[in-house]
């Protein structure tokens, strides 16, 4: 059986649990070597790596809070050092906490935008520098909240609408360079 991603390298951000963990497992099942990014729980990331390697896949855990420029750079460097040039970046890392308008604070705002938007931009910019010579793919995990706009989700909804807009811009910006294709996928 041929695996479509054999020989490819994928970096999945926020991959120690939930959607990110499932994406990492699926990419590995298709043959990709996967860097499992985590920020807080090394144990959770190690469980994802162990599950992938138990099935014959290749994976490593890479720590870093992507809202920090140095950490985003380090996550990409760790991935390249361990697995080689990157073919696929899945921007899944994110935070969501709902709050009514009166409860929105600068901390609440920055917690969301610093990771969900700035982190995505920082890691994408660094990963593009380390894509294999044939280019690569960036997949940004968005959310249906960017269009359904539920109550008490103004900040989170704004971050996911930003992810959609960034995906459209980067698709146009990176395609002519053949350095990457970009897509936003609602989770």
Q: What's the pLDDT tens digit per position in 88-142?
A: 999 999 999 999 999 999 999 999 999 999 999 999 999 999 998 888 999 999 9
Q: How far apart are CA 52 and CA 84, in angstroms?
A: 18
- Candidates 14, 72, 156, 157; catalytic one: 156
Please say whether the beta carbons of 60 and 45 come within 8 A: no
DSSP code for 181: E
Global confidence as pTM: 0.93
Question: For the chain, what is the mean pLDDT?
Answer: 94
> Is residue 96 flagged as an active site residue?
no
The full set of domains in the chain, from first to last, is 9-186 (3.40.50.720)
Instruction: List helix spans (H) across the chain.
Output: 18-29, 42-54, 69-83, 106-113, 120-129, 145-148, 154-174
47-83 pLDDT per residue, tens: 999 999 999 999 999 999 999 999 999 999 999 999 9
Q: How many CB atoms lie within 10 A of CB 81?
A: 11
């Amino acid at each position: 059986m041929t695996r479509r991603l054999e020989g490819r390298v994928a970096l999945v951000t926020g991959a120690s649990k939930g959607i990110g963990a499932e994406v990492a497992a699926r990419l590995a099942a298709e043959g990709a070597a996967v860097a499992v990014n985590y920020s807080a729980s090394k144990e959770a990331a190690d469980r994802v790596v162990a599950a992938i390697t138990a099935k014959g896949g290749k994976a490593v855990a890479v720590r870093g809070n992507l809202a920090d420029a140095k950490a985003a750079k380090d996550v990409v460097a760790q991935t390249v050092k361990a697995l080689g040039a990157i073919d696929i970046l899945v921007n899944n890392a994110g935070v969501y906490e709902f709050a009514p308008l009166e409860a929105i604070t600068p901390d609440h705002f920055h917690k969301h935008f610093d990771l969900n938007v700035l982190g995505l931009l920082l890691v994408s910019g660094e990963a593009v520098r380390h894509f294999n010579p044939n280019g690569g793919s960036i997949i940004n995990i968005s959310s249906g909240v960017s269009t359904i706009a539920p109550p008490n989700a103004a900040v989170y909804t704004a971050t996911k609408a930003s992810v959609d807009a960034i995906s459209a811009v980067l698709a146009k910006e990176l395609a002519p360079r053949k350095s990457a294709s970009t897509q936003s996928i609602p989770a």
